[in-house]
Structure 1
């Protein structure tokens, strides 16, 4: 890595270029090794040291002040950091992925070898270090520590899950339910709580054994009857472990003072997070972040770090040189802001703190009453003030205000011309006008579009389906209301099951289903990638067996507009009457014609 950095130093990269190289290249170099072995702490420190030196130093071998600690720079951008990865936490997240693979692919060659060596009579989660373990096994167990903190049992048949001992509920963290009865069966299994006839939870047994809060958590799960009990990762919506979610968990469990301090200052973090949405070049965005992080070389900050320097501003000599003074309060800065024509705050920049001034700039950026050419130019003003300060102090150059204003406007104009093309640009117009649209099925196959709408406050769901042929003619359509629905995914599940049952009832055996439900479609087409929806997928697959040939696809709202509008009429207009009809509804004819004419 140091040899790679040696070549990068010669390229005179901006802060934006350094950020890209560190995140995309430097941090990717040790990934293969970190996926297999736990790196020693000294190795992590050496790699971190090389990256921090590259970030702060302009030339190799010349050390500069590290204004912000690497630990703080590894915080998320929304929490005031730069989003770099902590190598030790990232290493653990990568190793946890290996543990997840051993858990999910227990019949793989690697899993069978490790089982024969370390846990012949148990499973991976209960395996011990063993005698004379390999370093790879030690490393996997290091990843398992993180994995266990986000795992819960996923209910299939429920035969292998102990109600009181296993973590099969999730309430911020995976947990077992609280014991309500004084006397209870210690070997009670989850399958004993499921009604075998209806394949749903037995409410009488739930109320007998659990408190109301735990009953709510239990009812959120849908048992995948007929399948083995498995595991689910609780820190993403699809239930499969990812390195990204594992790293997020490792960071959220971090109780260091740096993270506590960052989370204790939400207003400052909000300002820093807004900086990354400013329309300007990456190097200027990083400069704005440095200004808000007190990471610029001004005399006030140098004195705070123990250096003995003259605290007065080198340009005006009237006040101490702070970041706020250089960018807002110095007479040269005030004159430049005035020449630009930027609207001043009520009390002026000089009577406000640095945070107040930045908050004002970021707020006025969204003011639609002022021209964009004025409100969006402030990043270049701040950048040029800083460059002029350094040119005056280190090179003895002093630029006139008028020339600086022209330079600012020219730089901003050139950047916007490249990165924000005008609406008149033909290519831009073509992209904006090319919308995703509904596509007719092949000859001999009918397409069924399923729409769902759900209101959380009333727990009312509307469902609708349209059946169209290859000539784009509506053969049948239907609408139905569902009450007492607790979640959108439950509404989508009920709507899709109802649509499939309707196709079977109407003897339509070749159907292409389209629905706005990537989670449910994923649970059917890629069940290993969507374990959190395994119960829904199993029930939908069971109903699909009634059809001869079928295909299922998740689509966007634009492609499913007709079915969605029909379903929304239940929740929005209270059209609660269910019906099935031939042809197309008159009030949706314009939308259906739009699907046809756009082809």
Structure 2
């Protein structure tokens, strides 16, 4: 994946295998995928599970090779590619050319990721075109938006610098650029050592390229092109607090699905006309309230019943402490389990048994169960010795075990 652009159909099939495995699908089974792969690929802080989209990951891996060509022009690989494909230009302006190799096609496809994430730190200005590159401003340089004036549209930044004093030509700068951009240019520090211009990466704080930052930039660009809605700050806090909870991973996944309305309720399955939302099944129905009435008083006092489960969870996060939130998560999952046992197995679970199991789980999480010893000390057993039976008793010895 780091050298060639893999076929889209191959990457999609691998994504499909991972998706099927997550939802428990085996061989010819057809399990319902309650959440799309696109949404599962979002970061956990945005309501996803953080699965890597292999197409974007492939492009991010390839962009690392493009970055190396930019940063190490004297390397053997860069020299070979330059001699064959861009003798009289730079890598960033190179063309695909005639009869390109599969390697070069792959690099050209990934170059767009590098172009979107690179910017320039001005040294002597001899390698940066004024209107074509990102170099204006700090900490995130942008392209110049002032219309071309006085200078050629391919003019270099060095034409704005007095090389003898290493200072900006203030008069020329104010004549060429709008006032706001002229002020930004004049505030940009220059090197007194006549240093070369330096390529920097926008995705990291230190300006060094990383595959991870390239992947996230490519995902953001893809979402922007498709017009996908961004995650609000309040929802980000909900997701962050959910994944930080000190509860079992399976309880976290249950809450994640519940907040996304991705539980197989009657409404979601469309089997009956009577609606059964996640909030109704887990929180507000009479059967569920029978369990919640035995929970801690802090949870018993919460009588709200919003339309979406994520709104309920967000409101509880704002008013309850961490211990109460842990109890809510653990009990909610067991309420859902109780409902499924009754519907599918006709097995009724008493609310007290549900609460008892939830409290046992919480006690284990908090390390409060003193009845369980993790490393019992070995006991020394005396060797078995045959003894004579008491009077009027008979003893039978055999060499097999009995399975009671």
What's the TM-score, normalizing by structure 1?
A: 0.56
Change (3 A) 1:92 1:63: same
Residue 396 of structure 1 and its aligned partner are, at CA, apart by: 2.6
**Equivalent in the alignment of 2:400:** none
Larger mean Cα displacement after TM superposition, 46-55 or 120-129? 120-129
Find the partner of 2:309 among 330, 354, 360: 354
C-alpha deviation, 1:301, in angstroms: 0.5
Q: 2:224 and 2:297 mapped to 1: Cα distance?
A: 42
Aligned residues: 366
Secondary structure of 1:66's counterpart equals coil
The 3 A distance-change label for structure 1 pair 218 and 286 is farther
Change (3 A) 1:126 1:219: same
Structure 2: state its 5+ residue gaps.
Answer: 369-404
Q: Please give the alpha-carbon distance, in whole angstroms, between the structure 2 residues aligned to 1:229 and 1:80.
A: 40
Tell me how far apart the structure 2 counterparts of residues 187 and 61 of structure 1 sit (CA, whole Å): 60
Residues 170 and 186, structure 2, Cα contact 8 Å, conserved in 1: no
Runs of at least 5 residues in structure 1 that lack an aligned partner in the other structure: 1-33, 304-308, 313-319, 367-371, 419-599
Aligned to 1:365: 320
Q: Hey, what does 2:330 align to over in structure 1? A: 380
Q: How does 1:240-319 map to 2 (within 5 A)?
A: 240-255=208-223, 260-263=227-230, 267-268=234-235, 270-303=237-270, 309-311=271-273
SS at match of 2:293: helix
Match of 2:289 in 1: 334
Q: 1:127 to 1:65 in 2, by over 3 A?
A: same
Q: Is the CA contact (8 Å cut-off) linking 1:342 and 1:375 kept in structure 2?
A: no
- Deviations, residues 539-581 of structure 1 (Å, cap 9, x unaligned): xxxxxxxxxxxxxxxxxxxxxxxxxxxxxxxxxxxxxxxxxxx
| Aligned equivalents of 1:141, 1:109: Cα separation in 2 | 19
Shift of 1:35: 0.6
SS of 1:112's equivalent? Answer: helix
Are positions 1:230 and 2:236 aligned together? no
Q: In structure 1, what is the equivalent of residue 128 of structure 2?
A: 161
Where 1:340 maps in the other structure, the secondary structure is coil
With 337-346 and 381-390 compared, the bigger mean Cα shift is at 337-346
Query: Any conservation in 2 of the 1:159–1:190 contact (CA below 8 Å)?
Result: yes
Q: State the secondary structure of the residue aligned to 1:386.
A: helix
Whose Rg is larger? 2
CA contact (8 A) 1:342 1:374 kept: no
Matches of residues 552-563 of structure 1 in structure 2 within 5 Å?
Answer: none
Partner in structure 2 of residue 108 of structure 1: 75
- Pick the aligned partner of 2:342 from 392, 408, 414: 392
Instruction: Output the CA distance in 1 between the equivalents of 2:103 and 2:166.
Output: 43
Q: CA deviation at 1:64?
A: 0.9
**Residue 295 of structure 1: CA displacement?**
1.0
Please give the secondary structure, in 2, of the residue aligned with 1:383.
helix
Report SS of the residue matched to 2:282.
helix
Relative to the length of structure 2, the TM-score reads: 0.81
Q: Decide which of 53, 66, 80 is 2:20's aligned counterpart.
A: 53
Deviations 1:436-470 (A, max 9, x none): xxxxxxxxxxxxxxxxxxxxxxxxxxxxxxxxxxx
Determine which structure has the larger strand proportion and give its number. Answer: 1
